Structure 1
């Protein structure tokens, strides 16, 4: 997750879902007609989702945009690629940590967006409490993150292998807190209410994404895989091959014959969409 160059070339599912969610839920955002609104994006990664989908849609309503990520690598990359955009800044933020320095620097915001970030946070109550604290009174947020995805089951299986266990001792930190939850919407409702939100909408959307060819799947896995950097270079391709092996055993592949380009990998997953106002 510190590979911005790779991430921005292999984040097809993130881009597709962000565009679809904005099409469906973007009208709920309470944009200011005087064009003086401020927007915080949490977990902006390489910055392309924010700049390609969020900012163009609402730029006339915004006087300040701050994209943030916990990774300094991602923040530096986003600054390099998008830093010349008017009224747009990038900074580091750990949404599961202490906000004091960030708030002193940037203040609070009229709007918050976040795509494919919050499932990485273990302390969910802290994270949602911080989202609430970062909003101005009357502000709103659109938060999109994974509830369940086969990638987390694959990580769990590989971590039990003697070959990979020593590189994945903290695997639970990289599995969505809602992966094995029977009622994620119910848990989220209690969580939102407990941190102060009184008006919110929660939807759990069942989605499917298809990776065409083994190479495309490997690129997507490498872009977000937190374990490969701990491995010697000569083992990293072996890890991806074992990952593909688990995918096949889980019956998530089709047409995998002699030509790897014909192989299709079917990923069914559940996406959480939260719209809330302070």
Structure 2
């Protein structure tokens, strides 16, 4: 596959690239929001599923932040990226890596406290279908924490189109984001191009908490629909 060939070439340099990429202004803001959510929610008994884990960058992140967890499972399309991840973390009994095609394979059985997906949704034709599947793998009250590139404006997206095409990574449509189930928080940075979301599996049966952003004015940077018990966790003063 073309995308596998790309990441075979990238695997050796991916961590260095990711460090550079993560320091872009909008990207860094989304990463900070993600790290705040991780810091607030990870516990010693947390089970983590990382979709599109690459070289294990999120394990590096969690270690850098000094955060606890009980079990981490990272899934990625590229065996070469996973090989790099295993070289870094393969001696840890609480860290595991496996291959998956997120656009066609079923997610692994089990329930997770936190599902991570960083900068992966852009590779999927229908990311809302994956989010629906993630809800079925979360424990009641569990969280999906995701960052992704979303539509910004036609001029920027047109200028970046050659890059998007090379990496098979189109910006996620706002109509797709509006269909993400149980979304309780969305933060948009750099005109919306860098986006961070939180979706939560409800504790009890209740109406879908999906937040529609189609009617929001362009200037809105954050839309929240927080249950009372989460307000303190995600408030960013």
**TM-score interval, normalised by the smaller of the two chains:** 0.5 to 0.7
Q: 1:176 aligns to what?
A: 171
1:227-246 correspondence to structure 2 within 5 Å: none
Distance (Å, rounded) in 1 between the aligned partners of 2:48 and 2:137 = 10
Q: Is 1:22 equivalent to 2:22 in the alignment?
A: no
The change in CA–CA distance for 1:6 and 1:65 in structure 2 (over 3 A counts) is: same
**1:72 counterpart = 2:79:** yes
The runs of at least 4 consecutive aligned structure 1 residues that moved more than 6 Å come to none
Deviations 1:143-176 (A, max 9, x none): 01111478853463589xxxxxxxx7xx794322
Q: Per-residue CA shift, 1:39-62, capped at 9, x if unaligned?
A: 011111111x212212443642x1
Q: 1:58 to 1:122 in 2, by over 3 A?
A: farther
1:44 and 2:53 equivalent? yes
Structure 2 CA distance, aligned partners of 1:75 and 1:158? Answer: 24
Partner Cα separation in structure 1 for residue 40 and residue 184 of structure 2: 11
Question: In angstroms, what is the RMSD of aligned CA positions?
Answer: 3.0
Partner Cα separation in structure 1 for residue 163 and residue 180 of structure 2: 33
Alpha-carbon contact 2:39-2:67 (below 8 Å) kept = no
- Distance, in Å, in 2 between the alignment partners of 1:158 and 1:22 is 25
TM-score scaled by length of structure 2:
0.67
Quick check: which has more Rg, 1 or 2?
1
SS of 1:275's equivalent? strand
1:88 paired residue among 95, 98, 102 = 95
In 2, are the aligned partners of 1:38 and 1:111 still within 8 Å (CA)?
yes
1:240 aligns to what? none
Matches within 5 A, 1:1-278: 1-2=7-8, 3-16=10-23, 17=28, 19-29=31-41, 31-32=42-43, 35-47=44-56, 49-57=57-65, 59-60=67-68, 62-99=69-106, 102-103=108-109, 107-148=110-151, 153-154=158-159, 156=161, 173-178=168-173, 184=174, 187-189=176-178, 191-193=179-181, 197=182, 200-206=184-190, 270-278=193-201
Output the CA distance in 2 between the equivalents of 1:112 and 1:158: 27
Relative contact order: is structure 1 or structure 2 higher (C-alpha 8 Å, sep ≥ 6)?
A: 1
User: Any stretches of 5+ residues in structure 2 without a counterpart?
Assistant: 1-6, 202-237
Q: In structure 1, how many angstroms separate the alpha carbons of the residues matched to 2:60 and 2:167?
A: 32
Mapped to 2, the partners of 1:158 and 1:59 lie a distance apart of 34
Give the SS at the match of 1:174: coil
Q: Work out the CA distance in 1 between the residues paired with 2:131 and 2:163.
A: 30
Contact 2:77 2:100 in 1 (8 A): yes
Stretches of structure 1 lacking an aligned partner (at least 5 in a row)? 160-167, 179-183, 208-268
TM-score with structure 1 setting the length: 0.58
